[in-house]
Amino acid sequence: MNEVAIRRDWVGEAVDGRFTLLQWLGGSRRSGVFLAELLEDRSQKVAIKLIPADTVDAEAHIAAWARTKALSHPHLMRLIHTGRCQIDAVPLLYVATEYADEALSQILPERPLTPSETGEMLEAVLDALSYLHGNGFVHGHLKPANIMAVVDQLKLSSDSLQVAGEPGRQFPAPSVYDAPEVAAGTISQAADVWSLGVTLVEALTQHPPVWDGMADGKPVVPESIPQPFAAIAQECLQHDPARRCTLSDVKARLAPSPSLAVPAGKPQKTASARLRVPAIVTAAFVLIAVIAVLLLRSRQTQPSQPTEQQPTSAISAPPAQSPTVPPAQPPAAPPAQLSAEPPPQSPVTPSVESPAESQALSPSAPPAQLLVPETQANKGATVKGEVAQRVLPDVPRKASATIRGTAKVGIRVAVDTSGNVSNAALDSPGSSRYFSNLALQAARQWRFKPAQVGGQAVSSQWILEFQFRQSGTEVAPVQVSP
């Protein structure tokens, strides 16, 4: 095989009369990956992987891609097209997939994942692997570089899947992510579990576990890794494939919620304690708001007594200072309002904290709004919402130094009746994926005073225009509905 067949300077070349190569993204001895666009629709960007067509396993690649195209899963990269082509008279095979905004391997050199982010990453990977294994496939290359973010969804690469039980295609020498049996040519679903254990350790420590590949011992799982992740990694990294845990075992260990995990060897004054207290405070805020609503409604039935309207900002004291309610009218807050938490969303990228965690760590988030007594003046009136909490992106100095002028990014957010952001999406992404991701992460953490129609809180839509400059970042919020 010609090891220099895939060249960076092919940018600008056409592939199979369908795609134009725009940018070199990376490669190895055996392949090269480019950013490309469809010739008939330049707005659609894809990632194209090129490999030499004169290898002994070329037909195996074509057959595997054909089977992979029939797969469909929200956490699996979609294959758009495959085929053969020539560039500079070099015969090539190519596969075009969705274009990822970011890979986990780009995040880890900067920082490790938090336990909450790791839990979200694991859930997405487990779902995808379970789907693949259930359909008779093995991923075979699970590692941070192949765990990617496409808009707001974590996805596994799908360009190198293999059918379980079939002879493996030729690949480079086994890496730290490959199970011991891979060196002998054995590709199994248990090998994916090993790779999951290595990836889990690296996600939390920024480094794969230490292991002498020639020995029979297990890789060393650092004591600093919190539970249940430490136990999961240890069970994944068993030298004997038969002794490794299954994907179902990993899911069972994650069931208690990884975001409440306690680091091994440390007193239990960690994430779980930090999360429980704000949760209690938040529940108390909601209870106070409900009590105030019932109290106002009861006073509306007594015309001879003036109604005192308390401003929302007044409800900021600890639970011990909650207003006293007459015993004759004990308020009964609906259980759903006291225990409901926003459902966890799929992460945008591994570096994005989930909205659920952001809310739990922000006891100052605004409580449910008080209902204003309906009068002729406000009956049917629409009251615009207000921004209650702004969150600016944390832009590293090196990144801000690259800005020339102003980099603008528009984020459209949906705000629910409690003032929380229920969804955030790019409205005008601008020219930089990096700054678009920073803006998207920050927008998910904003809080609002809900808009009202006829005295009732309603959902709304906002556009947050982030303006990145070397001197700092500003945001211009505009409510676009109702």
**Residue 295 pLDDT exceeds 50:** yes
SS3 labels along 26-59: EECCCCEEEEEEECCCCCCEEEEEEEECCCCCHH
| Domain identity same for 292 and 233 | no
Mean pLDDT of the chain: 75
Are 432 and 405 in contact by the 8 Å Cβ rule? The answer is no
**pLDDT of amino acid 29:** 67
Domain boundary among 204, 226, 260: 260
Q: Residue 197 belongs to a domain with what CATH number?
A: 1.10.510.10
| Domain identity same for 143 and 74 | no
pTM for the model stands at: 0.53
Closest listed residue to residue 262, CA positions, set 238, 228, 239: 228
State the average pLDDT over residues 283-301.
51
- pLDDT tens readout for residues 297-324: 544 444 433 333 333 333 233 343 444 4
**Residue 457 pLDDT exceeds 70:** yes
Q: Picking from 32-41, 230-239, 277-286, which range would have the lowest pLDDT averaged per residue?
A: 277-286
φ, ψ of residue 283 in degrees (nearest 5): -60, -40
Flag whether 265 is in a domain: no
| Domain identity same for 213 and 282 | no
Classify residue 219 by its DSSP letter: P
Label residue 474 by pLDDT band (50, 70, 90).
very high
| Domain identity same for 255 and 368 | no
| Domain identity same for 308 and 401 | yes
Flag whether 266 is in a domain: no
Label residue 292 by pLDDT band (50, 70, 90).
low
Helix (H) or strand (E) holding 439: helix 433-443
| Domain identity same for 123 and 229 | yes
| Domain identity same for 277 and 170 | no
**pLDDT of amino acid 104:** 93
Classify residue 73 by its DSSP letter: -
Domain boundary among 202, 228, 260: 260
**Residue 171 pLDDT exceeds 60:** no
Label residue 482 by pLDDT band (50, 70, 90).
confident
Structural domains counted in the chain = 3
Structure tokens given for 457: 């809180």
| Domain identity same for 426 and 307 | yes
Closest listed residue to residue 120, CA positions, set 75, 177, 151: 75
Domain boundary among 202, 226, 260: 260
- pLDDT tens readout for residues 378-390: 455 789 999 999 9
More confident call, 11 vs 373:
11
H-helix segments, 206-318: 229-236, 247-254, 271-300
Q: Residue 64 belongs to a domain with what CATH number?
A: 3.30.200.20
Structure tokens given for 338: 């006291």
Label residue 467 by pLDDT band (50, 70, 90).
very high
Flag whether 418 is in a domain: yes
| Domain identity same for 322 and 238 | no
Are 272 and 310 in contact by the 8 Å Cβ rule? The answer is no
Flag whether 351 is in a domain: yes
Residue range(s) defining the domain that contains residue 50: 8-98
Sheet order of strands, 14-15 included: 14-15, 19-27, 32-38, 45-52, 90-98, 79-87
Flag whether 1 is in a domain: no
Label residue 173 by pLDDT band (50, 70, 90).
low
The per-residue b/e assignment along 9-43, b for 16 or more CB within 10 angstroms, e otherwise, is ebeebebbebbbbbebbebeeebbbbbbbbeeeee
| Domain identity same for 338 and 311 | yes
State the average pLDDT over residues 282-290.
50
Label residue 210 by pLDDT band (50, 70, 90).
confident
Flag whether 2 is in a domain: no
**pLDDT of amino acid 272:** 32
**pLDDT of amino acid 63:** 86
φ, ψ of residue 136 in degrees (nearest 5): 85, 20
- pLDDT tens readout for residues 389-400: 999 998 888 777
Q: How many CB atoms lie within 10 A of CB 55?
A: 15
- pLDDT tens readout for residues 56-105: 778 888 888 888 888 989 999 999 999 999 998 899 999 999 998 889 99
Structure tokens given for 472: 């700092």
Give the CA distances from residue 288 to residues 152, 247, 319, 321, 330, in Å, rounded to whole numbers and listed in that order. 35, 43, 8, 10, 13
| Domain identity same for 277 and 407 | yes
Q: In whole angstroms, give the CA distance from residue 369 to residue 62.
A: 59
**pLDDT of amino acid 127:** 95
Q: Residue 418 belongs to a domain with what CATH number?
A: 3.30.2420.10
Flag whether 125 is in a domain: yes
Flag whether 246 is in a domain: yes
| Domain identity same for 361 and 455 | yes
